[in-house]
Amino acid sequence: MTIATSTSEAPLAVKDLKVYYHTRRGPVKAVDGVSFELRRGERLGLVGESGSGKSTIALALMMAHKEPARIEGGSVLLNGSNLLDDNNERVRLRRLSEIAMVPQGALNSLNPVMRIRDQVIDGLKDHNVRMSDGEFSQRVAELLDSVGLHRDVASRFPHELSGGMKQRVAIAIAISMNPSVIVADEPTSALDVVVQKQVVQTLREVQERIGAAAIMIGHDMGLMAQFASRIGIMYGGKIVEIGPVSNIFNNPRHPYTRLLISSLPDTRSKRRLEGIPGLPPSLLRPPPGCVFHTRCPEAMDICRQDIPQTRELDENRFAACHLYNDDDGKVVVL
Amino acid sequence: MTTTQVEQSALQTDSEPLLRADAVSKTFISGTFRKHYTHALDTVTFSVPESPPTITAIAGESGSGKTTLARTVLGLVEPTAGEVVYRGANVAEMSRAQRAEFRREVQVIFQDPFESYNPFYKVDHVLRVPIRRYKLASSKSEADDIVVEALRTVGLRPEETLGRHPHQLSGGQRQRVMVARAVMLKPKIIVADEPVSMVDASLRATILETLRAMNRDLGISILYITHDLTTAFQIAENIIVLYKGRVAEAGSVESVINDPTHPYTQLLVSSIPQPDPETQWGREQDSRDEDEIPLTGCNFYDRCPVRADECMSADPPLYRTAENRITRCYNYADSPVHLAADLRSVFAR
């Protein structure tokens, strides 16, 4: 059972994380008891629809969530030490050096009036990296090389770069201090399909080269199939199923995962496209029992009453669904 | 197939189509002192027949001109050259009466369902306005019936939709209300500009299926503008692939996507992230070389993995490589040049 053991070696172990948005009408439980572990060098895809809590997880992992969002509980063990216990200064130092983010739109994350070179060096200096100017320039050139950009890009401004080039710069900055975890939140959402492929492949290459673990957050199952080695499916603030990418696609077990996979169009054969009927749940007043029961074609009485526990159904694959209560898969206490 | 045969098959479809874009070009000019010309569309010709109702995908990346083409077809952008003709009348020169009819019969669905709404009005508002404007109902109860009917057609429950504000609906519901609004007017054509790109996967399928049903059951032709070849494959019969304002390849959607001939289409298809971990991305790489942008010749030259010197000499014509296929690439110079301007003659029916 890998979800809860070997914590000491895992670069990232998230346990029972809860992030609520506090509104006048009460807490919106955007992330409600999420646990997962990232192993060294692995690529996890976190998939979910809008409102499933996936982007809130990304923000919380970077400790970049803002009011009215608050972390209500759980722990985020980054290289064995809980990020939630750290003060602001320590969190700042651990960002970039231990956990770094490739943001959604690099268009907005780069400083428009600063040359690329200075933006890369800025992060390093901010983390007390001391080098001579020549060494800094050398490091910038190496980083640009590693993401497939020409060294000349260093002297350019963001507006002189295409969307794909900017996203590569964002990757270069993210790996500038060899972090052990890279968090990529929909890193290609505004890019054309050809550029999207290049950016995702670049991300994969550098992740493998520096041996970091990566989490990619998104809704595009196609991208996940190409990138991830393991996939977690989010629904209503929870991970409902998590497992190796081939198991998730070829033999989904949670009814939501099944419907999601069967709703995906491909270019092999034309067929009737089936969506998932109904609406995502209100996270302000989540339904009792299983959060998916209102849309689940297999819902039983128990689903309306009891929150399903997460079980290991087969090796490395976990799902939270009452359908598997009779299986011998043991309950994982999260 | 010989040239004469190509011309003949073009003639067979020569009855006046419902909508025809005739060698449409659009050049945007920017800059105060030094003029900068952007050729968003370059002599694009295609048509939508009166019958049978068709679904045609217009696909391309950003900058391909697909949205400019959609806006030109809708009469929102006036072409620099060429014309868009609806029922025999040039859209740019229509009389008020003709334009009113055109506005009703050619409907549009935009990408972002949120931006099409005024957040202060209830959803009902977007459905009531066209009823009033086009006098579709003579009484309040008749108007109610039309609204309810339209919502049911797109698979929405009226009691769960009416009386709500846009933010109380999901993205998929908002987009389906927009389809309902379009359908209510009994249009001949719906121009759908990236209708599902902002919608979650589980709802995307429902909207595409709704569009398909509109085509099949209500006889509405659809121009499906997209960057996503996968949904284009699922929904359309035929596809036009645009690159920098020009038609790179066109034909039946199965043949174009499963066996692309133009190097650009090949690049696009190999970049599709297939939702299948066993089908990993193809090896094709973008060979873009910015020092290689030619002033004349093929507009894909700088990115083409199979470029040759002749590609710089002149813009390649469209070659008819198969019954249902044309491609703009000298690699197929053995095939006859496609002389009929309209792409309709190569489309599968």
Contact (CB<8Å) A219/B280:
no
Q: Is the pLDDT assigned to residue A75 strictly greater than 50?
A: yes
CB contact under 8 Å between B204 and A223, yes or no, is no
Please give the pLDDT value at position A205. Answer: 95
Q: Inform me whether the pLDDT recorded for B222 exceeds 90.
A: yes
Grade residue B156 by pLDDT with cuts at 50, 70 and 90: confident
pLDDT at residue B292 in the model: 65
Rounded to 10 degrees, the C-alpha dihedral A207/A208/A213/A217 comes to: 50
Judged by a CB distance cut-off of 8 A, whether residue A246 touches chain B is yes
Q: Report CB contact under 8 Å: B273, A200.
A: yes
How high is the pLDDT of residue B72? 95
Average pLDDT over residues A227-233: 97
User: What strand order describes the sheet that includes B189-193?
Assistant: B106-109, B189-193, B221-226, B55-59, B238-243, B246-252, B325-327, B319-322
Tell me: cis bond preceding B166? Omega within 30 of 0 counts: no
Share of chain B above pLDDT 70, in %: 93
pLDDT confidence of residue A290: 96
Test the B interface: residue of A49, A149, A268 with most B CBs within 10 Å: A49
**pLDDT at res. B260:** 96
Q: How far is B118 from chain A (nearest CA, A)?
A: 21
Whether residue A279 and residue B170 make contact (CB cut-off 8 A), yes or no, is yes
B38-54 tens-digit pLDDT: 889 999 999 999 889 99
Instruction: Give the pLDDT band of residue A123 (cuts 50, 70, 90).
Output: very high
pTM exceeding 0.95:
no
pLDDT of residue A315: 86
Q: What is the dihedral of CA A49, A52, A58, A60, to 10 degrees?
A: 170
Residue B11 pLDDT greater than 70, yes or no? no
Contacts of A234 in chain B (CB under 8 A): none
- Write down the pLDDT at residue A328: 61
A175-191 tens-digit pLDDT: 999 999 999 998 988 78
pLDDT at A29: 93
Report the pLDDT averaged over residues B190-208: 85
Partners of residue A247 in chain B, C-beta under 8 Å:
none
pLDDT for B113: 67
CA B197 to each of CA B19, B220, B228: distance values in angstroms, whole numbers, following the listed order: 26, 21, 8
Q: Does residue A114 register a pLDDT over 70?
A: yes
Q: What is the mean pLDDT of residues B193-222?
A: 88
State the average pLDDT over residues B130-157. Answer: 89
Cis preceding-peptide flag for B52 (omega within 30 of 0): yes
- Overall average pLDDT of the A245-262 stretch: 94
A287 pLDDT exceeds 60? yes
pLDDT tens digits, one per residue of B280-324:
887 767 777 666 666 788 999 988 989 898 898 888 999 999 999
At B117 the pLDDT is 76
CB-nearest to A225 from B227, B270, B273 is B273
Residues of B with CB under 8 A from a CB of A: 61-62, 170-173, 200-209, 212, 227-231, 233-234, 257-258, 267-281, 286
Among candidates B62, B205, B275 on the partner chain, residue whose Cβ is nearest the Cβ of A225: B275
pLDDT of residue A9: 77
Sheet of strand A181-185: strand arrangement: A99-102, A181-185, A213-218, A43-47, A230-235, A238-244, A317-320, A310-314
**Which tokens is B208 given?**
């595409």
Determine the average pLDDT of the residues in A291-302.
94
Residue A266 to residue B274, Cβ atoms within 8 A: yes
| CA–CA gap between residue B181 and residue B176 (Å, rounded) | 8
**DSSP codes joined into one string, B130-163:** HHHHTT--SSHHHHHHHHHHHHHHTT--HHHHTT
Question: What CA–CA distance (Å, rounded) separates A93 from A98?
Answer: 8
In A226-300, beta strands by DSSP E: 230-235, 238-244
Show contacts of B36-43: CB within 8 Å, 24+ apart. Answer: B39/B244, B39/B245, B40/B65, B40/B68, B40/B245, B41/B65, B41/B68, B41/B69, B41/B72, B41/B79, B41/B245, B42/B244, B42/B245, B42/B246, B43/B81, B43/B82, B43/B246
Do B286 and A194 count as a contact with CB atoms less than 8 A apart? Answer: yes
Whether the pLDDT of residue B112 is over 80: the answer is: no
